[in-house]
Structure formats: structure tokens, C-alpha cells
Amino acid sequence: MNSLLKEDRKGRTALLTKNLTPGKRVYNEDLILRDSVEYRTWDPFRSKLAAAILKGLPDDLVREGNKVLYLGVSTGTTASHVSDLVGSTGLVVGVEFAPRVAREFVEHVARQRKNVIPFVADARDPSKYSVTTMDVVYCDIAQPDQTEIALTNCQKLLKKGGTLLLVVKARSIDVLKDPKHVFAEERLKLEKAGFNVRSVIELSPFEKDHALIFATS
């Protein structure tokens, strides 16, 4: 049974992840049984990773057994689905520097899920949470220097040939520039650092002026 299901709902695709903690919700998602297995609905308007998958990101980049470094977990909406995707043999290292949301993440996600390790830390200093080498780095920190921060983390913690998923919020980088321009500039930074950029996926209509860059090291 896959940990990610795609279902057709009246001509639209809905995403579901296999619930690692059956009976428990993380936010107000629906719990749904399929062949006696419980799944959680994954809302693309609340999760940029779900939005990117619906807009064409390959759906097997985060998979069973993967180790994922997640920068900017916030309260853990998306991180909880990543935890479902990697399953009990995988690991999610979740980093968040804002104490209030980090507390919510610890209570509602990390304490409930054995495959999640929380760090209340600044993503600018990966030495604070360098537990192991990662298969995937997912970065969603909405900072002007987020690409540089993602690269620092990849240099220290991403395995050779690993995957970087970088969320770019154009307005966090430059409010005046055309978002397409900003996405192209951030792409170039990754290429100059030796990354192979596979796709740049704009997230509208789910998120305005955001893109997710998929690159491999």
C-alpha cells in the first residue's frame, strides 16, 4: 500500500497520506479509510509541497525510509505529511526558530511521531542539528537569503545525489521584482553552486508568487 494516494474527486485530484498515527489528526484534516488503512487528506492550499505535487512535481521524491531535513517546519502541517510519507523506517529532522510555533510543532507532531526529531534552532547554523546525512533537504523559511541558507545546509548535510526542494517566496526576496525574475535568479544561484535544477514549479493558484525549485546535488 502506497503512503501517498491520489484520488479523483469530481475531476480534481485529491492527495491523501497514510496516517502514521491512526486516529490522530494534526490540524483539521479528514481521516479516511481506504482498504482498511487510514489516510489523512493533504490540502494544497495549506501545504506548498502538496501544491507542487499537484502542479507536476514527481510524487516519489519523498518516500518510505528517506531521511528528510525540513527547514522552517512552523507548526508542522506539511512536516506531518512528510512524516507519513517516510514512514516508520524514515526520519524527519524538523528545524524552526520561532519559539511559539516550535512549541506547537513539538506538542502536536514530534511528541506523537517517533520518526520526527524537532530542533528549535536557526537554520543558518546547521551544526546545531547535524545528526546524520540526509536524502532530502526541504526548505521553506521565507527569508531573503533562503537560497544561501539552503545551500549551507546541503553542503553540510545532504548526501551526494540527494534532493533539494526549495520553496521560493518571491515577495520575501524582492517585493518590486517580477516573481518570474526572482525564481530565475534563485535557480541560477543553485546552478552556480553545482546543483542540477530539474524543475521550477510555480504554485498558483494554491499560493501566489511562490515557486518550488527541485534540484539534485
78 binds ligand SAM (CB under 6 A): yes
- What is the amino acid identity at position 13? T
Where does this chain touch ligand SAM (CB under 6 A) — which range of 61-69, 96-104, 108-116, 198-206?
A: 96-104
**How far apart are alpha carbons 179 and 106 in whole angstroms?**
34
140 and 71 in contact (C-beta within 8 Å)? Answer: yes
**How far apart are alpha carbons 209 and 21 in whole angstroms?**
34
Give the nearest distance from C-beta 169 to ligand SAM in angstroms: 7
95 binds ligand SAM (CB under 6 A): yes
**How far apart are alpha carbons 206 and 183 in whole angstroms?**
17
Give the nearest distance from C-beta 11 to ligand SAM in angstroms: 26
Give the nearest distance from C-beta 202 to ligand SAM in angstroms: 16
Where does this chain touch ligand SAM (CB under 6 A) — which range of 12-20, 25-33, 93-101, 158-166?
A: 93-101
Which 118-147 residues touch ligand SAM, going by CB under 6 A? 122-124, 140-143
List interacting residues with ligand SAM (CB under 6 A): 47-48, 72-74, 77-78, 95-98, 101, 122-124, 140-143
